[in-house]
Structure 1
């Protein structure tokens, strides 16, 4: 029952519209070869910009200016990222709400949601990117 309550609360955090959970593969079909800008939702604060180099690798530029090459992998319904400078994996459920894209942190104990506010073909430029 607690899990259902958490799922309802997670959905209430997003705009009241038709929500569609995307599979990780559907999200990657949209993202690979593109650069996505992530902002907190609600709030609109920049989280970072991620260039999806392939289905397995990304270049992540955080809002603080630090950059890292990330490994992308799929864990069930979640799209996950591993970065060499962070011991935790970051797993997200991609969602489409009308014409807007969101990612919701896959750990139900955290209400973290981010909106993808821009998709471009511009590369992420980093002064120093750690080698993998």
Structure 2
């Protein structure tokens, strides 16, 4: 119990105040994303995770931090935006979107957090064409 109390300030610092975050519906997230390109960074480290161009509300191009790309299919549930990529067809990558002080944050079911650090109208740059 003492350890939990000792760690609580650190948890609050890393996660931010609960009252400052608003969960976005998947449709609201797609309103920000469709037709745009979003840059995702790890919330913990600030390192680039990748850049995703939302070609439509159902299709994306995901450019990983190493420059390789793949097409993705987007599906929406009641609370999550899910992606399935052509090079990992059997795996769903699902995220619950939030807005925290004007910034979009996505949280995976496992607790991984990413921040949308940039939204542009520019296409992604891939060193090889995406898989088709």
**TM-score, scaled relative to structure 2:** 0.84
In 1, the alpha carbon distance for the partners of 2:95 and 2:32 equals 15
Root-mean-square deviation (CA), in Å? Answer: 1.4
The structure that has the greater radius of gyration is 2
Q: How many residues align?
A: 118
* Separation in 2, partners of 1:74, 1:20: 18
Higher helix share: 2
C-alpha contact 2:25 2:80 (8 A) present in aligned 1? yes
Aligned-residue offset at 1:128? 1.6
Contact 2:22 2:99 in 1 (8 A): yes
SS in 2 for 1:85: helix
Rounded Cα–Cα distance in structure 1 between residues aligned with 2:23 and 2:102:
13
2:124 equivalent in structure 1: 124
Gaps of 5+ in 1: 1-10
Name segments (4+ residues, structure 1) moved above 6 Å: none
Q: How far does residue 40 in structure 1 lie from its aligned partner after superposition?
A: 0.3
